[in-house]
Amino acid sequence: MAGTRTGHKPVYRLFPVEVARVRRLGPSFVRLTFTAECLSDFGAGGVDQRIKLVLAQPGRTLADFPNGPDWYQQWLALPDEIRPVLRTYTVRSYRPEPAELDIDFVLHGGPGGHSGPAATWAATARPGDEIGVLGPDRPGTGRMWGCEWAPPASASHLVLAGDETAVPAVASIVETLPPCARGIVCLEVPEEHDRQEWAVPDGVEVRWFPRCASAPHGKLLEEGVAAALDELHPRSRGGVADLDEVDVDAATLWDVPADDAAPGQFYGWLAGEAAVIKRLRQLLVRDYGIPKQAVAFMGYWRHGHS
């Protein structure tokens, strides 16, 4: 169960790919399978690996995306009408043979059903459509590969939680857990039929919380996580009072365990809308006394922000 970290830093490069297959997973999810010969050189990382999707501006091509180690500075310097759009997604699965990569898209993100440019593109994507994948050029694992899941070998109680944007990463994680794993997974999704079936260890329970247009975003998830903690981790008297505050409107909430964090029996992985994850961070650390360095708290997106 323990994660490993690889120190040899990869180079991030553009992989021009095209859609090979489209599979609808539910009302809110679609899986696109991408293919290209160059994907045989893709640097696969861990089970929650983040990559960037590159979308050319209307009437433009991926040739606008800069090459080289300073691609980011060059990208920032491009005029708005030329600069390709970058959006972060999770690798659902990767197959070096036959050079395929799956990415699951949420078709309507956040309250109100407003989609970003990548989700809007995915909603009408067809086989043969082209897009770019920005990812590492060599295999490895750890943060340099966009991976955070790294429970210590001592972790005997796992809690994973998130909204629909975290579902692909959680799916990849739980499908690779060892048979001895024990824990609770809490997932809030838009619709009842957004539930997915995964092969998970007998000691891992996956709990789905469909909002069904009646519950505010995050309310059911917070209630579900609190119930899971009551079962797995008794509430600590007083908790921790000195938890640092994060202004999720001004900064990214990304608080993850250090590589040298002390091992413990509890390990958590929480991702989704930043304000919800902030409240869950307060719940776990302040109310339940869980060490902050035992949990990865990740604000994948912020309501009302691009």
Which burial class, exposed, middle or buried, applies to 64 when counting CB atoms under 10 A from its CB (0-12, 13-18, 19+)?
middle
Per-residue pLDDT for 3 more than 60?
Answer: no
| Rounded Cα distance, 298 and 278, in Å | 9
Looking at domain 149-301, its CATH class is: alpha beta
Give the tokens for residue 116: 């970003």
**pLDDT, mean of residues 83-94:** 97
Every domain range in the chain assigned CATH 3.40.50.80: 149-301
- Residue 111 banded pLDDT, cuts 50, 70, 90: very low
Cα separation values, 105 from 198, 239, 269, Å: 17, 37, 20
pLDDT of residue 240: 57
Mean pLDDT estimate for the chain = 91
pLDDT for position 113: 47
* 194-229 pLDDT tens trace: 999 999 999 999 999 999 878 899 999 999 999 999
Class of domain 15-136: mainly beta
Mean local confidence (pLDDT), 68-93: 96
Model pLDDT, residue 230:
94
User: pTM for this one?
Assistant: 0.92
Could you give the residue range(s) of every CATH 2.40.30.10 domain in the chain?
Answer: 15-136
Question: At residue 57, does pLDDT exceed 50?
Answer: yes
